[in-house]
Amino acid sequence: MARKKKDKKWIQKADDKMAEKGTEGAFGKATPSKIAEGKAEGGLQAKRATFAQNMKRISARRHHRKSGRH
């Protein structure tokens, strides 16, 4: 089974797409309670909440690696 080649620039593409649409910062500060509220609301807010949660997770993982605690 062939694997898809990973797109290493997917975050940059997502950022560019948000800039084009003018939706940068539309979700606001991504606190845990705000993410939970967004997911409960559903629709577009749920998508934004999930994206914010994923970005926080990626950021934390990168910070963890850079500090040498992997």
Helical axes 43-66 vs 32-41, angle rounded to 10°? 150
pLDDT beyond 80 at 34 = yes
Percent of the chain predicted with pLDDT > 70: 89
Question: What single-letter amino acid sits at 18?
Answer: M
Residue 48 has a pLDDT of 93
Overall pTM > 0.85: no
Mean pLDDT of 4-16: 80
- Listed in sequence order, the DSSP H helices in the chain are 10-21, 32-41, 43-66
pLDDT, average across residues 31-50 = 94
Mean pLDDT of 22-32: 87
Long-range contacts of 43-51 (CB under 8 A, 24+ apart): 51/14, 51/27
Q: Half-sphere exposure of 20 toward its Cβ, with a 13 Å CA cutoff?
A: 6
